[in-house]
A and B are shown apart, each in its own frame.
Chain A
Amino acid sequence: MKARVTVTLKTGVLDPQGEAIRHALGALGFDDVEGVRQGKLIELDLADTDPAAAEARVTEMCEKLLANTVIENYSVEVI
């Protein structure tokens, strides 16, 4: 079973890399982009076969390591 974790910065947290990407897009003519936020995608291969148990386990991983919940949000998708 696989899980996909998406980690994004919370609203209001400055994302200088996202800003740099927006500027670069503007330089390429994509000047209609009003905002860019960069995040992380983490894919996990799990031994679990029960989706609910897997989701609970990955949520625990997010809380303990994968995300810094002071500044980041995360979402877990079991696939």
Chain B
Amino acid sequence: MKSAVIVFPGSNCDRDLAVAFEQASGTRAQMVWHKETALPQGLDIIGIPGGFSFGDYLRCGAIAARSPICQAVVDFARRGGMVLGICNGFQVLTETGLLPGVLMRNAGIKFVCKDVDLQVETADSPFTSAYARGQVIRVPVAHHDGNYVAPPELVARLRAEDRVAFSYRDNPNGSTADIAGVLSENRRVLGMMPHPERRADPALGGTDGAGLFRSLADALATA
């Protein structure tokens, strides 16, 4: 599994994500600065990390989504490449148009930083195959703009196509239909607000998030 993590000014979960990729696959993730215009050759998966890229100016993820490397990420995804966006990375993916919907200010206005229970809504994806559908995992959220807003017809479509990857048991931010993570149409791009990479090592307080990275390593080992 050859992975890369994109680093923007203001990213702060890039190293955590790289460690999670490395622990699952045994291969070191390559760090790619946002000013690059091309990705390393032969990548299997690109991670877009959490943080506050470009200070959340204009809209969260908006400036990052228009940075030089993001055009290469979009092209990679359109060719069937796998992309994982966590927290700010999810915001970036919606801003590029790779994932539908928008992440807006939390309904309760406050920044929310706590552990939440997530329900795995589908095991049918390269990100969630190590979990069982309906399984509940506990991972942290830490965001100010995690309120996933989607019109009813989009929610119906996501449900019909089994593209809701995770939902909140106790909605912390007002997200439509409790949605915490969504898959692209080809199921190879996942965006989610909670942080599985922060709960992927016993030293970090638990391994509930490790299944996501194990799923990826399995999917890419057999590919």
Q: Is A17 an interface residue (CB 8 A)?
A: yes
Choose from B62, B101, B102, B109 the contact partner of A17 (Cβ within 8 Å).
B109
**Looking at chain A, what size class is its interface with the partner chain?**
10 to 19
Within 8 Å CB of A16, what residues of B? 105-109, 174
Q: Is A14's CB under 8 angstroms from B104's CB?
A: yes
Q: Is B109's CB under 8 angstroms from A71's CB?
A: no
Q: Is B187 an interface residue (CB 8 A)?
A: no
**Contact mask A1-24 → B, CB, 8 Å, 1/0?**
000000000000110110010000
Q: Is A68's CB under 8 angstroms from B106's CB?
A: no
Q: Is A78 an interface residue (CB 8 A)?
A: no
List which B86-116 residues lie within 8 A (CB) of chain A. 95, 101-102, 104-109
Q: Is A68's CB under 8 angstroms from B149's CB?
A: no
Within 8 Å CB of A70, what residues of B? 101-102
A-B contact count (CB 8 A): 30
Q: Is A71's CB under 8 angstroms from B149's CB?
A: yes
- Report the minimum CB–CB distance from A16 to chain B (whole Å): 5
Q: Is B149's CB under 8 angstroms from A17's CB?
A: no
Q: How far is the CA of A68 from the CA of B107 in the complex (A)?
A: 19
Within 8 Å CB of B109, what residues of A? 16-17, 20
Q: Is B58 an interface residue (CB 8 A)?
A: yes
- Report the minimum CB–CB distance from B7 to chain A (whole Å): 21
Q: Is A52 an interface residue (CB 8 A)?
A: no
Choose from A13, A64, A65, A66 the contact partner of B104 (Cβ within 8 Å).
A13
Within 8 Å CB of A65, what residues of B? 58, 62, 66
Within 8 Å CB of B59, what residues of A? 68
Given contacts A68-B59, A68-B102, 8 further A-B contacts (CB under 8 A): A13-B104, A13-B149, A14-B107, A17-B105, A17-B109, A66-B58, A68-B95, A71-B102
